Amino acid sequence: MTFSPADSLRQHGIQATAQRLAVLRAVSNRPHITADDVAEIAAIQIGTISRQAVYDALGVLVDKGLIRRIQPVGSAARYEGRVDDNHHHLICRECGRVVDVDCAVGAAPCLTAADDMGYEIDEAEVAYWGRCPECLSEEQESTLVDSSTRPRQDRWSAATQEISNIQPAKK
């Protein structure tokens, strides 16, 4: 049985406001999204929303377990709707792309601490760092082509373009 976003909010004791619904939809439709990107998408969906309303909604949704907040070192916080498991992330050192990766071995928490020091461990948060296939491919291309004649591709522009292509929700 699947629940509508409004039903999910109510089931968790959260009032279903237009702002919260827009934030939940933005996070659900675009994994590893930043708060700034959530604000832009939500504004397209509902017309106007303050940054504070976005941050408040994100905080409530994280607190109630409807979304997950991750913050890779050196990066803005990111939000995702995949909360039903203990998965990890692959992060590209060059472009900042973040993708999900399932646990390495066994059931949650996936890793066993050498010494739990009396803690009852129920989750492991792991980030794998490296370079994504696109950045590796771009590096290989740049060795074949003189990089001074090829304009640098703004990797973040793809995300910006994606946001600008989102259509407002029909009323």
- The pTM of this model reads 0.73
CATH code of 151's domain: 1.10.10.10
CB 44 within 8 A of CB 30: no
Is residue 171 one of the residues assigned to a domain? no
3-state DSSP call for residue 71? coil
- Domain of residue 154, residue span: 5-164
Tally of structural domains, the chain: 1
Is residue 126 one of the residues assigned to a domain? yes
Is residue 88 one of the residues assigned to a domain? yes
Strand order in the sheet with 88-92: 98-101, 88-92, 127-130
Q: In this predicted structure, what is the pLDDT of residue 143?
A: 73
**Whole-angstrom Cα distance, residue 15 to residue 26?**
17
**Whole-angstrom Cα distance, residue 100 to residue 90?**
6
Q: In this predicted structure, what is the pLDDT of residue 85?
A: 84
Model pLDDT for residues 155-165, shown as the tens digit of each residue: 444 444 454 45
Is residue 71 one of the residues assigned to a domain? yes
CB 27 within 8 A of CB 69: no
Is residue 129 one of the residues assigned to a domain? yes
62-74 average pLDDT score:
94
Model pLDDT for residues 80-139, shown as the tens digit of each residue: 999 988 789 999 999 999 999 987 666 666 677 888 889 988 878 888 999 999 999 988
Is residue 169 one of the residues assigned to a domain? no
Instruction: Please name every residue paired with 33 in a beta bridge, in sequence order, or none if there are none.
Output: 79
Is residue 170 one of the residues assigned to a domain? no
DSSP 81-123: S--SS--EEEEETTT--EEEE--SSSSTT-S--S--TT-----
Q: In this predicted structure, what is the pLDDT of residue 149?
A: 44
CB 67 within 8 A of CB 79: yes
40-65 average pLDDT score:
96
Is residue 89 one of the residues assigned to a domain? yes
